[in-house]
Chain A
Amino acid sequence: MRSSDKLFYYLLKTLAWGVVGLLAAMVLVVLWMSWEALGHFGLRFFVDASWDSWREEFGALAFIYGTLVTSFIAVLLAVPVSLAVALYLNELAPPWIARPLGFFVEMLAAIPSIVYGLWGLFVLAPFLRDHVQPLLATYLGFLPFFQGPQMGVGLLGAGVILAIMIIPTIASISREVFKSVPESLREAALGLGATRWEMLRIAVLRVALSGVMGAVVLGLGRALGETMAVTMLIGNRPQIVWSLFESGQTMASILANQYAEADSSLHLSALTAVGLALFVVSLVINSLARWIIWRMQRVV
Chain B
Amino acid sequence: MFERISLRRRLVNQLMLGLLFAGAILAAVPFFFISWYVLQKGLGALSVEFFTQTPVGPGQQGGGMANAIVGSSIMLTLASLLGIPWGMAAGIYLSEYGRGKTAQTLRFAVDLLTSVPSIVVGIFIYGVIVIHFGFSAYAGGAALAVIMIPIVARSTEEILKLTPQHIREAGLGLGLPRWRVILRIVLPGSRAALLTGVMLALARVAGETAPLLFTALGNQFFSHSLSEPTSSLPVQIYNFAKSGYPDMEAMAWGGALVLVLFVFIINLVTRALMGMRWN
Q: Give A contacts to B, CB under 8 Å.
A: 1-2, 4-5, 7-9, 11-13, 15-20, 22-23, 25-26, 29-30, 32-33, 80-85, 87-89, 92-93, 98-105, 107-108, 110-119, 121-123, 164, 167, 171, 193, 195-198, 200, 218, 221-222, 224-228, 232, 252, 255-256, 259-260, 272, 275, 278-279, 282-283, 286-287, 290
Contacts and interface: CB of A to CB of B under 8 A. Distances in A.
A85 to B, nearest CB: 4
Nearest to B235: A114
Contacts of A12: 89-90, 92-93, 96-97
Given A30-B124, A115-B34, A118-B241, A275 B119 contact: yes
Interface in B203-258: 203-204, 206-210, 213-214, 217, 234, 237-238, 241-242, 249, 252-253, 256
A17 to B, nearest CB: 7
Interface string B25-48: 011101111100110010000000
20 contacts: A12-B96, A15-B93, A20-B105, A80-B23, A81-B27, A85-B26, A89-B279, A104-B31, A104-B32, A105-B28, A113-B210, A114-B256, A119-B33, A167-B27, A195-B5, A226-B117, A255-B123, A260-B213, A275-B119, A278-B117
Nearest to B23: A84
Contacts of A119: 33-34, 37-38, 256
Interface stretch (B11-19, B54-62, B161-169, B185-193): B11-19
Contacts of B153: 16, 19
Contacts of B12: 195, 197
A89 B267 CA distance: 21
A21 to B, nearest CB: 9
Q: B33, B146, B207: which has the most chain A beta carbons within 10 Å?
A: B207
Given A108-B30, A225-B116, A290-B108, 20 more contacts: A5-B179, A12-B93, A15-B90, A16-B94, A17-B106, A19-B86, A92-B20, A103-B278, A113-B208, A117-B241, A118-B237, A122-B37, A122-B241, A123-B37, A195-B10, A197-B13, A198-B9, A200-B16, A225-B119, A282-B120
B210 A228 contact: yes
Nearest to B241: A118
Nearest to A255: B119
Contacts of B33: 119, 123
Contacts of A92: 17, 20-21
Nearest to A227: B210
B124 to A, nearest CB: 5
Contact of B117 (A29, A81, A82, A227): A227
A279 B121 CA distance: 9
Contact of B28 (A11, A104, A117, A272): A104
B177 interface: yes
A29 B117 CA distance: 15
Given A22-B146, A115-B207, A195-B9, A84 B24 contact: yes
A114 B207 contact: yes
A201 to B, nearest CB: 8
Contacts of B204: 110
A19 B106 contact: yes
Range class of the B interface residue count: 35 or more
Nearest to A195: B13
Contact of B13 (A108, A196, A286): A196
A16 B267 contact: no
Contact of A83 (B5, B23, B28, B278): B23
B195 interface: no
B122 interface: yes
Contact of A18 (B31, B90, B182, B241): B90
B1 interface: no
Given A5-B177, A29-B128, A195-B5, A232 B238 contact: yes
Q: B120, B150, B237, B256: which has the most chain A beta carbons within 10 Å?
A: B120
Given A2-B177, A4-B179, A164 B259 contact: no
A259 B213 contact: yes
Contacts of A290: 108, 111
A132 to B, nearest CB: 14
A85 B23 contact: yes
Given A198-B9, A225-B120, A279-B117, A87 B20 contact: yes
B119 A30 contact: no
A13 B123 contact: no
Given A104-B32, A115-B260, A279 B106 contact: no
Contact of A164 (B16, B30, B118, B135): B30
Q: B86, B106, B127: which has the most chain A beta carbons within 10 Å?
A: B127
B159 interface: no
A94 to B, nearest CB: 12
Contact of A115 (B121, B213, B256): B256
A260 B139 CA distance: 13
Given A19-B149, A83-B23, A122 B249 contact: yes
A102 B28 CA distance: 8
Contacts of A83: 23
B111 A286 contact: yes
A287 B204 CA distance: 22
B274 interface: no
